[in-house]
Structure 1
């Protein structure tokens, strides 16, 4: 059985939608839609070829023509490949200055601003830079203030340490100058407080220290030199910058006279002979210890008794005798005798003796009596 024409014809291929027309934003373009076709002509592609719609119409007409089925099938089958080739073909370059070239390609043309606008822009830029500089300066000032506030304690501690270091360095420098500098060397020796001691002899003995810095004076050597003077009981040295050494001497003071051969010797409380005399010196008691040594207990007891007496009462004592330390006896220049005993409680015994003498002077000043103060709590006046 013969099939009707077109019964075995395959279904037409699906036609792709036409590409949207491009809008051209020229100055004279008033319409927003695609450009109409003039004279009934169909729109052509960009390369002058047939559009997809043309291809579809041609295929429709070919399907109705009495050509062979093979030709029709070939025409329809080749349409997609031709369409694909046309779509993938690169578009020609747009002319320079066109809106599409400007949007897709190179940098748009630069439009210079009017002169007034440029001047205002420059002024604004200058003002902005000036304001930025002021802001930067203010920020740095605030940062400095904050840094000083947060580092105040460390700065004070650093200043304190620097001050202490400066003081220490100053002290060290002063000590160095005092010790090693010849500006403070010894040049003058002044001796004070001498009566029986020869001051010039003392200065001569200390001449070896001349030229020595005051801080380096050898006081041990000074002690050894002054020990050669028996009349010096004690001394005190004092440096008087810049060049003077002062020596204050305390001489030995005699409290008793001791017979020695055909003369007399003045003796201090320690038994040291202070001076030798040919005649007895008035006001100094004559001591007789029975030939005992002056550094023995009898003389030490006598010396302690004499030192306990007031100066006015000691000047009235003519002689003192003692064979031991416990039997000291005084003989006053007025003829009265005083039994003293030992040197114990000598200060109290001296007060009791002064009271007994005053009482006797009121009652009978011309009588010859003896005072006994060996027991100071019970003073006795005996008539001889």
Structure 2
């Protein structure tokens, strides 16, 4: 208040007291917009899920060499025309896992209409004579010890497993030893003998033999064996990595 008792006014500012505010009464919020938007979104999702608007038009298989592509497609069970949103990736992977030759798989949805199946095949590192009723040939075994395919004759470069009574434990011990070897040395192994899983022998090309012993310390034994094989001999003993011998 100034000396005359009147409220001071700032220059350029006019009072609106007693005057109607321009623009009228503020509009209420449009509450109907949210329900409408949710209805539209729901309709779109239902249309995509239950109709072939975005249906599967193609299924592409990658990573197979020995497995027929038709086997993968039939096992995956993905029907053309089914909505992409109904493709159950976990169920597809589970079905593909029933194929012995498949070590793993990935299912990729590539919008708008393609499903890509990425397959990892098992790779043989050893073999066993086929022993089922009426079987002939050999059973290929991968690095995890899984027998996955029967073939008429063993491929070159694979080791034969000669096992005792405890076959499962013998395979496990043999795979630990084989997979510890570098690829170039593994290719020289012609057989792995495991009369007892705790006492392994590796037969090498040239009539050489490695007394491996138990499966423990596999990485250390492999590292010692590489320079040890440069020495003349027929039997290379790494059962005790601290005291390797050549005879």
TM-score where L is the length of structure 2: 0.75
Q: What is the rounded CA distance, in whole Å, between the counterparts of 1:283 and 1:180 in structure 2?
A: 52
Q: Which has the higher contact order (CA 8 A, sep 6+)?
A: 2
Mean CA deviation greater in 316-325 or 209-218: 209-218
Contact kept? 1:335, 1:368, Cα under 8 Å? no
Instruction: Return the structure number with greater helix share.
Output: 1
Structure 2 unpaired stretches of 5+: 1-13
Is 1:183 the counterpart of 2:23? The answer is no
Q: What is the rounded CA distance, in whole Å, between the counterparts of 1:169 and 1:309 in structure 2?
A: 63
SS class of match (2:173): helix
Q: What is the rounded CA distance, in whole Å, between the counterparts of 1:352 and 1:166 in structure 2?
A: 74
Is 1:275 the counterpart of 2:139? The answer is no
Residue-by-residue CA offset, 1:112-145 (whole Å, 9 max, x unaligned)? xxxxxxxxxxxxxxxxxxxxxxxxx984999569
Contact kept? 2:77, 2:92, Cα under 8 Å? no
Report what 2:245 is aligned to.
Answer: 381
Larger radius of gyration: 1
SS class of match (1:209): coil
2:104 corresponds to which of 227, 231, 234: 234
Contact kept? 2:60, 2:116, Cα under 8 Å? yes
Contact kept? 1:185, 1:213, Cα under 8 Å? yes
> What is the deviation of 1:201?
2.1
Mean CA deviation greater in 167-176 or 201-210: 167-176
Contact kept? 1:209, 1:217, Cα under 8 Å? no
Q: What is the rounded CA distance, in whole Å, between the counterparts of 2:222 and 2:85 in structure 1?
A: 48
Report what 1:324 is aligned to.
Answer: 196
> What is the deviation of 1:288?
0.3
Report what 1:217 is aligned to.
Answer: 87
Q: What is the rounded CA distance, in whole Å, between the counterparts of 1:331 and 1:381 in structure 2?
A: 16
Q: What is the rounded CA distance, in whole Å, between the counterparts of 1:355 and 1:177 in structure 2?
A: 67
Aligned Cα RMSD in Å?
Answer: 3.6
Is 1:290 the counterpart of 2:164? The answer is yes
SS class of match (2:72): helix
**Change in CA separation of 1:257 and 1:165 when aligned onto 2, cut-off 3 Å:** same
Instruction: Return the structure number with greater strand share.
Output: 2
**Change in CA separation of 1:331 and 1:182 when aligned onto 2, cut-off 3 Å:** same
Report what 2:74 is aligned to.
Answer: 204
Report what 1:357 is aligned to.
Answer: 229
Q: What is the rounded CA distance, in whole Å, between the counterparts of 1:233 and 1:213 in structure 2?
A: 28
TM-score where L is the length of structure 1: 0.51
Task: Name the count of aligned residue pairs.
Answer: 227
Structure 1 unpaired stretches of 5+: 1-136, 146-150, 152-157, 361-366
Contact kept? 1:192, 1:249, Cα under 8 Å? yes
**Change in CA separation of 1:258 and 1:170 when aligned onto 2, cut-off 3 Å:** same
Residue-by-residue CA offset, 1:240-299 (whole Å, 9 max, x unaligned)? 111111111111111112123653221223443333233332111111013543xx1111
